[in-house]
């Protein structure tokens, strides 16, 4: 489960930091930690998959992998979340084993939460300064090379075909992440 307390704060009475949603009498915005919680909303009831990170001389990556079903479209996804809490962009190689032709080439999405500075915050003047940005992953497959921005949380939602959804109930795929600088 993911949660935040306190959830709301009135801009005229800020006693606590951080809060997830800031409001006044006529507007509101989500703080970066509010948007970060969105990356974990599918985790309830999902299947956690073993994942490993193999990195040379860089210890600022953390990753997890789950399989989840989208309640809106009924599709099943393999979600790989990677946090790069270092100040360098990382070339990441993703290798997924235990699946046989199960990742669809199209229909996968990459979502990134990052900003130019660690101190960036949203405000009433800039409510979308730090928000997740989605982009399609073209040509998704079991072996992929991607780039992780510095100071970023990135989610790769890899669309699985119907055949793979049935097989997922019988096998546990393993994700392996390799990076180089």
User: What is the residue range of 54's domain?
Assistant: 46-162
The pLDDT value recorded for residue 134 is 96
The pLDDT value recorded for residue 174 is 57
The pLDDT value recorded for residue 133 is 96
Domain membership flag for residue 40: no
Domain membership flag for residue 3: no
A 10 A CB-CB count for 141 gives 14
Domain membership flag for residue 1: no
Q: Judge whether 106 and 140 are in contact, CB under 8 Å.
A: yes
Place of tokens 């399609």: 136
pLDDT in tens, 4-45: 667 888 888 877 777 788 888 899 999 888 898 888 887 776
Domain count, the chain: 1
Q: Judge whether 50 and 95 are in contact, CB under 8 Å.
A: no
Q: Which two tokens stand for residue 149?
A: 């921005």
**Helix-strand-coil split of the chain, %, nearest 5:** 10, 45, 45
Mean pLDDT by 10 residues, the chain (181 residues): 70 78 90 88 75 76 87 87 91 77 84 92 94 92 88 94 51 54 43
The pLDDT value recorded for residue 169 is 46
Which bin fits 88, alpha (ψ -120 to 50), beta or left (φ > 0)?
Answer: beta
Phi, psi angle pair for 85, to nearest 5°: -100, 20
Domain membership flag for residue 121: yes
Written as one string, the DSSP assignment of 59-107 is: --EEEEEEEEE-TTT--EEEEEEEEE-SSS-EEEEEEEES-SS-B-SSS
The pLDDT value recorded for residue 177 is 60
**Cα-to-chain-centroid distance, residue 151:** 13
Q: Judge whether 159 and 103 are in contact, CB under 8 Å.
A: yes
Domain membership flag for residue 56: yes
Domain membership flag for residue 8: no
Domain membership flag for residue 55: yes
The pLDDT value recorded for residue 158 is 92
CATH code at position 56: 2.60.40.1180
The pLDDT value recorded for residue 137 is 92
The pLDDT value recorded for residue 176 is 58
**C-alpha span between 155 and 63 (Å, rounded):** 10
Domain membership flag for residue 23: no
């Amino acid at each position: 489960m993911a949660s935040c307390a306190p959830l709301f704060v009135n801009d005229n009475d800020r006693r606590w930091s951080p809060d997830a949603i800031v409001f006044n009498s006529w507007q509101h915005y989500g703080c970066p930690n509010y948007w970060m919680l969105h990356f974990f909303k599918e985790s309830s009831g999902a299947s956690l998959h073993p994942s490993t990170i193999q990195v040379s001389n860089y210890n600022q990556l953390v990753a997890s992998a789950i399989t989840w079903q989208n309640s809106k479209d009924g599709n099943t996804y393999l979600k790989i979340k990677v946090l790069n809490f270092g100040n360098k962009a990382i070339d990441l190689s993703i290798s997924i084993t235990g699946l046989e032709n199960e990742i669809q080439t199209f229909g996968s999405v990459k979502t990134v939460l990052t900003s130019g500075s660690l101190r960036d915050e949203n405000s009433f003047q800039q409510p979308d300064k730090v928000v997740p940005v989605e982009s399609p992953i073209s040509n998704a497959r079991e072996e992929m090379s991607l780039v992780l921005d510095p100071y970023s949380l990135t989610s790769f939602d890899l669309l699985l075909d119907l055949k793979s959804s049935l097989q997922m109930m019988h096998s546990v795929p393993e994700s392996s992440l390799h990076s180089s600088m």
